[in-house]
Amino acid sequence: MDHNSGRVIRGEGPVVDVQFTSLLPPVGRVLIVKDLGLRLEVMQYAEKKTVRCVALGPTDTVSYGMEVTDSGSVLSIPLSQDILGRVINVFGQPLDEGGEITAEESRPVIQPSPSYLEVNSQLELYETGIKSIDFFAPFPKGGKIGLFGGAGVGKTVIITELIHNIVSASQGYSVFMGVGERTREGHELIHELKSKDLLKNVSLIFGQMNETPGVRYRSAHAGLTVAEYLRDTFNKDILLFIDNIFRYVQAGNEISTLMGQLPSDTGYQPTLGQDVGSIQERIASTSRGAITSAQAVYVPADDFNDPAIETILSRQDASVILSRDLAKRRLYPAIDNLRSTSVLLDRTIVGDHHFDAVRAARKILQRNADLQSIISVLSKDELVAEDRQIVDKAEKLIYFFTQPFYSSESYTGLSGVYVPLADTVEGVRRIIAGDVDSIPKEQFYLKSTLDEIERQWQEKSKVSN
Q: Give the model confidence (pLDDT) of 193-209 as tens digits.
A: 888 888 888 999 999 89
Determine which one of 155, 216, 247, 282 is catalytic.
155
Q: Comparing 77-343 with 350-464, is the CATH topology the same?
A: no
In sequence order, the 6+-apart residues with CB closer than 8 A to the CB of 399 are: 331, 441, 442, 444, 445
Cis amide bond preceding 78, omega within 30? no
Q: Each residue of 124-156: pLDDT tens digit?
A: 898 999 999 999 999 998 899 999 999 989 998
Alpha-carbon distance 143 to 126, whole Å?
10
**What number does CATH give the domain 5-73?**
2.40.10.170
- Please say if 181 is a catalytic residue: yes
* Residue percentage of the chain with pLDDT more than 70: 99
Provide the pLDDT for residue 181. Answer: 83
- Please say if 127 is a catalytic residue: no
Q: Which of 51-60, 228-237, 259-268 has the lowest mean pLDDT?
A: 259-268
Q: Packing angle between helix 245-258 and helix 213-234, nearest 10 degrees?
A: 130
Give the residue extent of every domain in the chain: 5-73, 77-343, 350-464
Integer-rounded Cα radius of gyration of the chain: 25
Provide the pLDDT for residue 317. Answer: 95
| Closest C-alpha to 25, from 64, 57, 54, 51 | 51
In sequence order, the 6+-apart residues with CB closer than 8 A to the CB of 176 are: 163, 189, 202, 203, 204, 205, 223, 241, 243
pLDDT greater at residue 233 or residue 188: 233
What size, in residues, is the chain? Answer: 465
Q: Each residue of 395-441: pLDDT tens digit?
A: 999 999 999 999 888 888 899 999 999 999 999 999 999 999 999 99
CATH architecture classification, 77-343: 3-Layer(aba) Sandwich (3.40)
SS3 track for 330-362: CCCCCECCCCCEECCCCHHHHCHHHHHHHHHHH
Q: Please check the confidence at residue 2 and state whether its pLDDT lies above 50.
A: no
| Closest C-alpha to 418, from 142, 125, 155, 167 | 167
* CA–CA–CA angle 318, 323, 329 (5° rounding): 140
**Is residue 204 within 8 Å of 267, Cβ to Cβ?**
no
* CA–CA–CA angle 214, 216, 219 (5° rounding): 100
- Please say if 182 is a catalytic residue: yes
Determine which one of 7, 49, 107, 182 is catalytic.
182
Predicted TM-score (pTM) of the model is 0.92
Options 3.30.43.10, 1.10.1140.10, 1.10.3720.10, 3.30.465.10; CATH for 350-464 is 1.10.1140.10
Determine which one of 127, 161, 181, 211 is catalytic.
181
What is the identity of the amino acid at 202? V
